[in-house]
Amino acid sequence: MQKFKVSNLDCANCAAKIESNISKLKEVKYISVNFAESTMFIDTDDIEKVRKVIKDTEPEVEIVDVSEVIKKRKLDSSEKGKIKKEFIGLSLLVLTYLSGIIFLKELRSTPNNIAEHLIFLFLYLVSGYNVLYSAAKKIVKGKLFDEHFLMSLATIGAIAIGQFPEAVGVMIFYQIGEFLQQLSLKRSRNSVKSLLEIKPNYANLKKEGAIIKTTPEEVGAGDIIIVKPGEKIPLDGIITEGNSNVDTSPLTGESVPKVVSQGESVLAGMINITGSLTVEVTRTFENSSIARMLELVESATSKKAETEKFISKFSRYYTPIVVGIALLIAFIPPVLFGASLSIWIYRALVILVISCPCALVISIPLGYFGGIGGASRKGILVKGSNFLDVLTDVKTVVFDKTGTLTKGIFKVTEIVAKNGYNKEDLLRFAAEAEYHSNHPVAHSIRRAYGREIHELDIEDYKEIAGYGVKSRVKGRIVIAGNDRLLHKEEIEHNVCNSESTVVHLAIDNKYAGYIIISDELKEDASDTVRYLRKAGVEKLYMLTGDNRNAAEKISKELKLDGFFADLLPEDKVKTLETIKGRDLKKKIAFVGDGINDAPVIARADVGIAMGALGSDVAIETADVVIMTDTPSKLGTAIRIARKTHKIVWQNIIFALTVKAFFILLGSFGIATMWEAVFGDMGVAIIAIVNSLRVLK
């Protein structure tokens, strides 16, 4: 997949046409053109053929690979200069036009007002040159029905019936509207981009006793960096010296500073507030949390919502239909009823002016873009506009237990030895058997053992997903896992009805006892359930590989609608399918964090992963990533999705209502062309501003 910056793309309808025409190429596997961001995502082996299609569709539009784009500062400077020139040019045009309206009466030396017509014709060509030129090039290629064609047809028609001042006025005010629309759009883009400008600019690399200021990309895993108070942490790593308060809000949206000290992990993008920190880098910048977050947000709008796709198709048919209606209005009354041809042509021209679909085509993707940006500010990464729509309709939420609803920080609370083994032996064997495991339960056992484990003593290791582990330690076969694992290995053992996690042990196929490990609910787990119920989620379930007693305790405490325990990874998928099958029309979300959750995350209508402690596999598979370990952020994500959906439909209804109203007024001769152009541009600007509300 390649990303391109699209320049000279000043028409949202044009963006839709470019995307449609490129999608017809057999060499193109995927294409998404986003007018709100001026970007294009494409998967193709023949980019030159794509460039040719773009030139045929919109000759002024160019694409540049993002890696080749000039430095942002130069682009901004050039853009500011262009805006200034446009403002000065428009100001001069308006002043000249107003002066002409006031003083040209005295130059009417002939009955046909030739002097007035010539001056207004000159002003018309100056103000409308780019619109007329663009329309002419497309007409030559047989491509009609965009906003430039409509505006050209309307104003040329006005000149044909002698309405010179109005034709010039409409073209000038159209240009002013376009200018204001571009300013609003630029502000909208900047508002979203400002949320994402959290990338660290430099790193203080400690090398051979000296501190070297370099880019984060130049630092490798294992290097040592120094982060001073007030600086952004440039890379993911572990603190080796120092302690401080860090602001995690750029990543998580949490405003309360977090206290960190030696041995704890910090992530790129966090801001160091108080003390100096020495950090050992654990990931290169391209693999860091911040880089992954930026990549996800920037590529999110390439996955379009159904509403966006519908409006793109709608706009292709809408304009020709309106032109057809205008032609009927222009000629049927004069032909059938003998009405004045010039009056009805004028009314038809008013309809053409108001009919531009840009308000819809611009504001809808911008609304979704704002929703994605607003969510990212809250520490929620939504990987596509389409997933915002799915979140809006979620009626069932299914949770994993460990690390999602519970803290995933286990603690050994009881050791019960059997058949001649003592507690110390049992804990040692368990720690050695679990030496290579990354499961939170294994971490808690090794932490409880607290002594050095010699890796060479472990001759063989096998992790059995959903069951436990089987290792050869100093020549002895050690099995550590759940009740199912011992049944699988046909080992007789005691039944333990604990409401906590139970790890059974067998040594050389003989039962040795069990270890009870306790976990705690997350502080906001109860709030999560309450928020989701309030948001209209009808059913809440929990899936877990843990034993039934532990699952039942959590389920009752949180007042869930049900739970499913003792599940293997493949059982979780089957269970989700069963829950989904109860009502196929209702959307279902799954929230998890582990590697074994990846299959069920992928199968849900919207899969959600915990980003802070979650596995890379789960995060890559998920449609939505919560950058904190707070499940209550799911409620926030649903609220943002619904607000985005509401604003998008407000824009659709508002734009279509106003346009229909003006078409009606124009048909009855109540609205003039000036009012129509103000109405068209006003709708576009109001819709853009309305889209910005989702950022709050």
294: amino acid identity, one letter: L
Q: What single string gives the DSSP state of each residue in 123-143?
A: HHHHHHHHHHHHHHHHHHTT-
| pLDDT digit string, tens, across residues 467-488 | 889 998 888 899 998 888 898 8
**Per-residue pLDDT reduced to its tens digit, 331-362:** 999 999 888 998 999 898 888 888 777 767 77
Q: Could you tell me the end-to-end alpha-carbon distance of the chain, in angstroms, rounded to an integer? A: 32
In a domain, 171, yes or no: yes
Task: List all residues 6 or more positions away from 396 whose beta carbon is below 8 Å from its beta carbon.
Answer: 537, 538, 539, 540, 541, 579, 580, 583, 586, 587, 588, 589
Range of weakest confidence among 215-224, 334-343, 453-462: 453-462
373 falls within a domain? no
User: In sequence order, what DSSP letters do the residues of 167-198 get, joined into one string?
Assistant: HHHHHHHHHHHHHHHHHHHHHHHHHHHHHH--
Does residue 242 form part of some domain? Answer: yes
Q: 233 and 144, same structural domain?
A: no
Out of 308-312, 412-416, 494-498, 593-597, the most confident range is 412-416
Burial label for 400, CB within 10 Å (0-12, 13-18, 19+), is buried
SS3 for 350? helix
Give 130's pLDDT tier (boundaries 50, 70, 90): confident
Burial of 504 (0-12, 13-18, 19+ CB in 10 A): buried
Asked if 190 and 81 sit in the same domain, the reply is yes
Percent of the chain past pLDDT 70, that is, above it, reads 87
Contact between residue 350 and residue 666 where contact means Cβ atoms under 8 Å apart: yes
* Residue tagged active-site, from 10, 236, 247, 400: 400
Q: Which of 251-255, 559-563, 665-669 has the highest average model confidence (pLDDT)?
A: 559-563
Per the model's pLDDT, the better-predicted residue between 197 and 11 turns out to be 11
458 domain-assigned: yes
Domain boundary among 44, 69, 94: 69
- Per the structure, the complete domain to which residue 535 belongs is given by 385-407+521-622
- Closest Cα to residue 382, out of 447, 305, 443, 496? 305
Could you tell me the pLDDT band of residue 187, with boundaries at 50, 70 and 90?
low
Q: Are residues 419 and 509 in the same domain?
A: yes
Residue percentage of the chain with pLDDT more than 90: 19
d(CA 555, CA 552): 5
Residue 538 has a pLDDT of 92
Residues 81 and 184 in one domain: yes
**Does residue 43 have a pLDDT over 70?**
yes
**Which residue, among 465, 462, 435, has the nearest Cα to 597 in the 3D structure?**
465
Of 518, 547, 574, at which residue does a domain stop? 518
CATH number at residue 225: 2.70.150.10
Q: For 145-164, how does the pLDDT look when each residue is reduced to its tens digit (9 = 90+)?
A: 667 777 888 888 888 888 88
- 457 and 577 belong to one structural domain: no
Taking alpha carbons only, the member of 377, 379, 322 closest to residue 351 is 322
Mean pLDDT of the chain: 82
The strand ranges marked E within 140-292 are 203-207, 210-214, 224-227, 237-241, 244-247, 258-260, 265-266, 271-272, 277-281
Specify if 215 maps to a domain: no
Closest Cα to residue 39, out of 1, 79, 4? 4
* Residue 416 and residue 450 share a domain: yes
272: Cβ–Cβ under 8 A, 6 or more apart, which residues? 227, 228, 229, 230, 231, 232, 233, 244, 246
User: What pLDDT does 71 receive?
Assistant: 42
Find the radius of gyration of the CA atoms of the chain.
33
**Is residue 110 domain-shared with residue 141, that is, in the same domain?**
yes
pLDDT at 558: 92
Cα-flanking dihedrals φ and ψ of residue 206, to 5°? Answer: -90, 115
pLDDT tens digits, residue range 371-387?
Answer: 887 888 788 888 888 89
Confidence of residue 300 (pLDDT cuts 50, 70, 90): low
Write phi, then psi, for 292 (nearest 5 degrees): -65, -40
b/e code 240-258 from CB counts within 10 Å (16+ = b):
eebebebbbbbbbbbeebb
Q: Facing residues of 63 across strands?
A: 6
Q: Would you say residue 115 lies in a domain?
A: yes
Q: Is the dihedral of CA 556, 559, 562, 563 positive or negative?
A: negative
* 656 in a structural domain: yes
pLDDT category of residue 589 using cuts at 50, 70 and 90: very high
Is 597 among the residues known to form the active site? no
Q: What pLDDT, on the 0 to 100 scale, is given for residue 70?
A: 40
Q: Give me the residue label for tokens 């042509």.
A: 345
Of 140-154, 293-307, 634-648, where does mean pLDDT reach its minimum? 293-307
Q: Supply the CATH number for residue 455's domain.
A: 3.40.1110.10
Given 69, 86, 110, which residue is the final one in a domain? 69
Condensed to tens digits (0 to 9), the pLDDT of residues 504-518 reads 999 998 999 999 888
> Among 130-144, 343-357, 385-399, 648-662, where is mean pLDDT lowest?
130-144
Given a cut of 90, whether residue 395 has pLDDT beyond it is yes
Same domain, 399 and 534: yes
Bridge-based pairing of strands 539-543 and 394-400 is parallel
Mean pLDDT, rounded, for 274-289: 87
What average pLDDT score do residues 216-228 get? Answer: 91
Mean pLDDT check: name the lowest of 11-15, 25-29, 268-272: 11-15
Count CB neighbours of 323 within 10 A. Answer: 19
Over 50: is that where the pLDDT of 72 sits?
Answer: no
Contact 146, 315 (CB under 8 A): no
The residue behind tokens 């915990």 is: 610
Within this chain, do residues 183 and 134 fall inside the same structural domain, yes or no? yes
Question: DSSP string spanning 595-661?
Answer: GGGHHHHHHSSEEEEETTTS-HHHHHH-SEEESSS-TTHHHHHHHHHHHHHHHHHHHHHHHHHHHHH
Q: How many domains would you assign to the chain?
A: 5
pLDDT surpasses 60 at 109: no
pLDDT number for residue 529: 93
- Same domain for 546 and 653, yes or no, is no
Are 170 and 311 in a shared domain?
A: yes
pLDDT, position 680 = 78
- In this predicted structure, which of 1-15, 64-78, 214-228, 410-424 has the lowest mean pLDDT? 64-78
Specify if 211 maps to a domain. no
Q: Enumerate the H helices of 355-422 as residue ranges.
A: 358-377, 385-392
Highest mean pLDDT among 30-44, 149-163, 231-245: 231-245
Asked if residue 542 has pLDDT above 90, the reply is: yes
Residue with more model confidence, 648 or 322: 648
Give the tokens for residue 658: 């106003």
- For residue 398, the model assigns a pLDDT of 94
Q: CA angle at residue 594 from 588 to 599, to 5 degrees?
A: 50
Is 403 in the same domain as 422? no
